[in-house]
Amino acid sequence: MSSDILQKSSIFSVNVSKSNAFNFLRLACCLIVIYEHCVVLSGVNFPCYDLRGIAVNVFFILSGFWVTQSFLKSTSIKEYAIKRFKKILPQYWLVVLGFAVGLSAFSVLPLREYFCNGSFYKYLAANIFTLNFIQPNLPGVFEGLALNGSVNGSLWTIKIEIGFYILLPFIVFAVKKMHEKFNGGGYGCIVLAALYLLSVLYEVLMPFVTEKTSLPSALNNQLPAFISYFASGMIFAFYGEKLFPNLKIAFLPSLALLVLLNVFKIPFVSALLMPICLSFCVMFLGLNLKVFADIGRKTDYSYSLYLVHYPLAMCFVSLGVFEKMPGFAIFSVLGTSFLCAYLLENFQQKLFGIRCNAEAVK
């Protein structure tokens, strides 16, 4: 199964102008996540509109779009896998290891006891393999704080991303086969539509299953529940040339539906319509907010910011800064997050000679 299977058919990957605002959207969503995590983790009386879930779903839509293009433009599965590895795992592993060591300063345990504690090594083993739910805590760190003192509650999305990366070649293969069987005509969309609907059913039904059985509720937020968002991005990677001209028509109705879905929150209807409506809005804004095109063009810090902000926020909560000066604390979290993100991006550039931006994923 080769990565050029679609390029040899009449399905094509869309060409996107470099004057786009996708990096800006990614950064804006990351800042929403950081702000709302600061509010939730600290309990400060600041406005919080629960937009971080939507922001994370935007990440998944953009991954569906850009990573599919990355796959289509790769010369082999191996090249594709190496690009994904370089983009995601080195920074992730450095963050896991760095905070595991650095947060010893925030543990109630003595250093020797901290580093000899079995939970420390269980944390490293679980998180290195992105199985954060197995051991989210470090020994004696952030005890008594929000969400049971979880060290980095943002990392759950990484295994979702990696799972999608693994599935993508098989999805593309199925799309190509369907396309060939019906001699084009956009029938490859049937595969994406089927995955989309199965994902919607999973998202709606799994909470009932976990509630009525002894299965863990963590199953509610696994990869199948988010395939609809990845698929919504993928369809623009395959058929963008046909869909992009209609974005101006679809944007306002999609935006209106998004508002209504967030106000009324009808489970099945929201699960069914939210991904596709959100994807139309994301694509329209990404292609039309050209005034923000230069933001993140050279280096996109959103991924690095996403990795580091949560434990940094927990540090400021632990130190009592939010309780005394909440506004200053939020800006401090942002400042230290940007500093760490800058260091991480420079680490990646020196290690692989690449910077994180939309073009890098290609």
In a domain, 285, yes or no: yes
Residue 113 contacts by C-beta under 8 Å, 6 or more apart in sequence? 139
In a domain, 255, yes or no: yes
What pLDDT is stored for residue 353 in this prediction? 66
In a domain, 181, yes or no: yes
Separation in Å, CA 43 to CA 32, 151, 176, 314, 320: 16, 17, 50, 12, 12
In a domain, 17, yes or no: no
In a domain, 4, yes or no: no
- The pTM assigned to this predicted structure is 0.93
Residue 17 · residue 181 · CB < 8 Å: no
30-77 confidence digits (pLDDT tens): 999 999 999 999 999 999 999 999 999 999 999 999 999 999 989 999
The two tokens of residue 79 are: 């090249």
In a domain, 10, yes or no: no
In a domain, 12, yes or no: no
What pLDDT is stored for residue 11 in this prediction? 56
Domain count across the chain: 1
- Write out residues in the chain with pLDDT < 50, as ranges: 3-4, 6, 8-10, 358-362
What pLDDT is stored for residue 176 in this prediction? 87
172-188 confidence digits (pLDDT tens): 999 988 877 776 667 78
Residue 261 · residue 277 · CB < 8 Å: yes
Q: Whole domain around residue 85: which residue ranges?
A: 22-138+145-361
In a domain, 14, yes or no: no
